Structure 1
Amino acid sequence: MPKSRIRKKDDFTPPPAKTTAIRLNSGRRWVAPLMLAMFIIGLAWIVVFYVSKGDLPLSALGNWNIVVGFGFIAVGFGVSTQWK
């Protein structure tokens, strides 16, 4: 049986890429400090509540101080969605 001819394919050369400048300044410099501040405030609120055995930060809230601390942390996560 005769052997068939093998067709040689041209090598693929990608088209020249257009160079674009990457903009690193997003204009949202306030996001990271606010996010970290909310995390730290929430953590500190919970730690102070446990260390003071429920007397601080607000004794009138009782165990709801934990919810307030986690609220600050949740706000920190909410702010983090704005970070680019």
Structure 2
Amino acid sequence: MPESKPRRKTASTAQPASPQAYKPNPVWFKPVMFGLMIIGLFWIITFYISEGRFPVQAWQSWNIVAGFGIAIVGFLMTTRWRS
């Protein structure tokens, strides 16, 4: 019986070209990521509980946009999270 040829490594199974491809995140990354998500949540909760007086009264309903913006930055950081 003939012996089969070994398979070639494809681009998806080959090792990365640079050692930086699997470098883990810095220590501060996770606390900042989760902190931004929590701060955004508390910003929105504070706005609703205080009936628009806090965090920034002059912004009125734009406080909701600010809270969601802060939280979204935290959620976008999750796409770069490596362990």
Same fold (TM over 0.5): yes
In the alignment, which of 74, 77, 81 is matched to residue 76 of structure 1?
74
What is the percent sequence identity of the aligned residues? 44
Q: How many residues align?
A: 63
- 2:37 corresponds to which of 36, 39, 46: 39
CA distance in 2: counterparts of 1:50 and 1:60, whole angstroms: 15
The DSSP-based 3-state class of the residue aligned with 2:80 is: coil
TM normalised by structure 2 equals 0.67
User: For residue 66 of structure 2, what is the amino acid of its counterpart?
Assistant: V
**Superposition CA RMSD, Å:** 2.0
Corresponding residue of 1:60? 58
Q: Which runs of 5+ in 2 are unaligned?
A: 2-22
Unaligned runs of at least 5 residues, structure 1: 1-6, 8-24
Deviation of 1:27 after TM superposition, in Å, equals: 4.4
Structure 1 length-normalised TM: 0.67
- One of 37, 45, 48 as aligned partner of 2:46: 48
Aligned equivalent of 2:28, options 27, 30, 48: 30
CA distance in 1, matches of 2:60, 2:24: 42
From the two aligned structures, give the one with the greater helix fraction.
2
Once residues 27 and 57 of structure 1 are traced to their aligned partners in structure 2, the CA distance between those partners, rounded to angstroms, is 32
Q: Distance in 2 between matches of 1:27 and 1:72?
A: 20
